[in-house]
Amino acid sequence: MIVLGIETSCDETSVALVEDNTVIANLVYSQIQIHKKFGGVVPEIAAREHLKKLPILFSELINQTNINIEKIDGIAVTKGPGLIGALLVGVSFAKGLALRYKKPLVGINHIIGHVYANYIAYPELKPPYIVLMVSGGHTLILKVEENNSVTILGRSVDDAVGEAFDKIARLLGLGYPGGPEIDKISKNGNPNAFNFPKPKMYDPDYNFSFSGLKTAVLYEIKRLIKNGYNENNLPIADLAASAQEVMIDVLLHKVTKAARDNNLKNIVLAGGVAANSRLREKIRALSEEFNFYIPPLEYCSDNAAMIARAGLERIKSGENDGLNFEPVPNFFEMMST
């Protein structure tokens, strides 16, 4: 079965063709260079860029793969959560194709798409498992039951962890997006140089809070400057490595607690922050107790292959959302549809 995937929820325009667990092609156009100068994603610009790039990427996909669109079995598009203008571009485009080629169309939950990125690398993966979903917009611990139903066990009560990486990077004068920058510079830093508080680490629930860490880093910078440092000689690598360590430790503490409490050994990682090299390194120390599933780097950040892979499951079981569904920007609303 071949499914076309379309992803336009944030700042990556992406189209993909997936045949069962094999990605035939996955084209991603990142708008990051455009949003960089604003220090974050500008929703209006994102939507306009999707509008410009999506038809071009789609033609490229068809030319490159030489696959006749008449031959595909269905279309999967990100329905939400995401930026409403951005989502609308993908959903409208997908509806146009579904109508023109008379194909089944399914609207996919972007978060579940991130989880399905793992099935591309690990076809043997089967629920039940615990998910640690860590992106720029969401920090979640989910439980996926044997019947694929999803329960939210925990979430961030304020900033998402990717957002915290981005904001702390900005405080440290590093580029955008901040996650990869902190990851890179931390390799030259001491993760124990600063003792930042570990927010909610020992609370009995599975929730997170990351906005206080950003404030703690800000106060530490101010204290260092008071003590004779200036903007040019701040120990940026140590500050970055110490902040990163707190975030990674809290994430791993909570997700392993959730897995233990639920008697589960399989932990699935998803989302952009799963690309973090320190996270990947620290997971190795836990690999005797748990089986970790981490998507390959190219499928950690937003891409249409994961959307197609999630859609394939639904199209295979005969589902078709038709042409009457709308994008759903809100995560909780999306989880309940």
* Only segment of 44-52, 91-99, 133-141, 290-298 that touches Zn ion (CB under 5 A): 133-141
For CA atoms 266, 201, 152, 278, the dihedral sign is negative
Q: Do 215 and 171 touch, CB atoms closer than 8 A?
A: no
DSSP β-bridge partners for residue 80: 109
- C-beta of 184: minimal distance to ligand KG4 in Å? 8
Q: Does 12 bind Zn ion (CB under 5 A)?
A: no
User: 144-173 mask for ligand KG4 (x: CB under 6 A)?
Assistant: ------------------x--xx-------
User: Which helix H or strand E contains 24, and what residues bound it?
Assistant: strand 22-30
Q: What is the rounded (10 degree) CA torsion for 270, 53, 177, 152?
A: -30
Contacts to ligand KG4 from residues 290-329, by CB under 6 A: 301-302
Give per-residue burial for 4-18: e unless 16+ CB within 10 Å, then b: bbbbbbbbbbbbbbb
Considering only residues 31, 135, 139, 207, which one is a binding residue for ligand KG4 as defined by CB under 6 A?
135
**Of 264-293, which residues contact ligand KG4 (CB under 6 A)?**
271-273, 275-276
Cβ neighbours around 262 below 10 Å, total: 13
Q: How many residues bind Zn ion (CB under 5 A)?
A: 2
Strands 129-134 and 74-80: unpaired
Residue 303 binds which of Zn ion, ligand KG4, none (CB < 5-8 A, kind-dependent):
none
Give the contact letters, 1-40, x = binds to ligand KG4 (CB under 6 A), - = no.
---------x------------------------------
Q: Give yes or no for residue 135 binding Zn ion (CB under 5 A).
A: yes
CB of 275 to Zn ion, least distance (A): 12
Taking only Cα atoms into account, the Rg of the chain, rounded to an integer number of angstroms, comes to 20
Q: Does 137 bind ligand KG4 (CB under 6 A)?
A: yes
